[in-house]
Structure 1
């Protein structure tokens, strides 16, 4: 089976183009994608069959060879910066827990800010 890379793919339109390792452009329809795959990023390596369609070469039975690159993973902060952020977050949570021991919840605005920071750190770690 030929292999190649995604040149571009537009999920809203349901099609895109691949480039084989030999340089041939191949049309890719969403119906040729594996079950559960709805979008592809440029540069993703694929294995596929090729059939001649009305307008040229068309990909069939596409199989992903690479994991789809994660945009959030590529954009996350360096680990050293995240470590400093988590250390500061621990200090803030410690002060909140001291208040909770005495039956005091943080003010609503302060609690919302802490929750937003916790969600952001969790999203960064989960990426």
Structure 2
């Protein structure tokens, strides 16, 4: 699911609602309508992403998507936890010595975030 016709989803695509992801995942069934994402787990998110086929090229089609923006927050929190061993509130997180492994974030390639029209400088 990480790409459509060879074009991967970037963090910028998630932040600008151009990822090609739908508004909500098809495995979304909240128990509490006043707090609908309270029981939507990372495992359910990963299950959805593993089975979803993008319908649009990332970066080309705007569609409001709680799913994409929630995924952006999830990825950023995992990156923060990985870098300093603490979650975004400063609490100790899942560091290498903890029993539970951290989920992999390799489904979304991390490339430099720059406008697509900006050419990289020659090395």
Q: TM-score range by the shorter chain?
A: under 0.3
Q: Which has the larger radius of gyration?
A: 1
Structure with greater contact order relative to length (CA < 8 Å, sep ≥ 6): 2
Give the alignment's TM-score, normalised by structure 2: 0.25
Instruction: Answer 1 or 2: which has greater strand percent.
Output: 1
Give the alignment's TM-score, normalised by structure 1: 0.24
Instruction: Answer 1 or 2: which has greater helix percent.
Output: 1
